[in-house]
Every structure is written in structure tokens, then in C-alpha cells.
């Protein structure tokens, strides 16, 4: 009978918001320990929910980044092919070789597909040298004062995939 009365007093003193309205009679500290345990469980629950929410956000971000750069290895493998096409096109412009219309169509189609997937070539010629975008192979004396610190020649194009550099441009810089 005493236990039932004590439980009834505990129920009467709890207002449902995690707060007590009054201390139960008896003073054995049982109510305080139960309240402490409840508060502790609430804290653990809130921390667990927050941790799970952070995990979901982090995994979504990682998945998005993975999808964004999943094709990076394939793109890097195709860059030498693009370089070969560029060299063949350049030699055809000089008149030493023939760059047929069919080969030119294949080149443009390949380049367009890679651009649709997020690949962009860097245009370095005549720009200011930036070590975050360029790799200086050599430097030569500047032919004029206004060309100092600028890229004179691009030996190998640089490429960006979805705003991430996958190959730095190899350039000759005027000093």
C-alpha cells in the first residue's frame, strides 16, 4: 500500500515536460535518481539523433562528390588521346600532314562528349602565370616588358573536371 501511494505521489508531481512540480514525500532520493536517469536518457537520445543527422548529411555529400568525380580516372586516361589529336591538327594546319574531315568530326564529337561530362581545357596562352593553375617547365627572357610574368607557350594543355584541376598546364613563362 505504501508503494502505491509513493507511485501516485510521483505521478502527481511530474508535469509531463520533464520537470517536477514538487518533491515526493519520503525524501529517499528515488524520485531524484529517476529524474536524473530520465534527463540522461533524453540527452543521449538527442545526441544520437543529431549524430545520425550529421551522418546522413556527410554520406550524402560524399556520394555527391563521388558521382561528381567518378569519371575522373577515365578522363585522365583520355587526355593523351586529346593531346595526340591536337598535335595532329596542329601539324595539319602547318601543311605537313592531312587531317581528314572524318578524323576532324571524330575529334569534335569526342571533345563535345567530354565537355558534356564536365571536362574543360585551360586556355593559358598569354595569361598571367599562376602556380595554382600552371606548371612552369622553363622560363625565357621576355621579348617585351609587358610580357614579363606571362605564359608565352603552352607545351601541354591543362584540364579541369567540374571545377577541379585534373592536369596542370605545362607552360613556358617570360621572366
Model pLDDT for residues 38-72, shown as the tens digit of each residue: 999 999 999 999 999 999 999 999 998 887 777 78
* pLDDT tens by residue, 121-146: 988 888 888 888 999 888 888 888 88
Return the pLDDT at 55. Answer: 96
**Closest by Cα among 46, 52, 54, 55 to 18:** 46
Higher model confidence: residue 128 or residue 25? 128
Average pLDDT estimate for 160-173: 89
Return the pLDDT at 17. Answer: 52
**Alpha carbons 115 and 119: distance in angstroms, whole number:** 5
Amino acid at each position: 500500500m505504501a508503494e502505491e501511494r509513493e507511485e501516485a505521489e510521483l505521478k502527481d508531481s511530474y508535469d509531463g515536460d520533464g520537470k517536477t512540480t514538487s518533491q515526493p514525500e519520503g525524501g529517499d532520493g528515488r524520485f531524484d535518481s529517476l529524474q536524473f536517469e530520465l534527463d540522461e536518457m533524453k540527452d543521449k537520445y538527442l545526441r544520437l539523433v543529431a549524430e545520425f543527422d550529421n551522418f546522413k548529411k556527410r554520406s550524402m555529400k560524399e556520394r555527391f562528390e563521388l558521382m561528381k568525380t567518378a569519371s575522373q580516372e577515365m578522363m585522365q586516361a583520355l587526355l593523351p588521346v586529346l593531346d595526340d589529336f591536337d598535335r595532329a591538327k596542329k601539324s595539319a594546319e602547318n601543311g605537313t600532314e592531312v587531317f581528314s574531315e572524318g578524323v576532324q568530326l571524330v575529334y569534335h564529337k569526342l571533345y563535345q562528349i567530354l565537355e558534356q561530362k564536365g571536362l574543360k581545357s585551360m586556355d593559358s596562352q598569354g595569361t598571367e602565370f599562376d602556380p595554382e593553375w600552371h606548371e612552369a617547365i622553363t622560363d625565357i627572357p621576355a621579348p617585351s616588358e609587358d610580357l614579363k610574368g606571362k605564359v608565352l607557350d603552352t607545351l601541354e594543355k591543362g584540364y579541369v573536371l567540374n571545377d577541379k584541376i585534373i592536369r596542370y598546364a605545362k607552360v613556358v613563362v617570360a621572366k
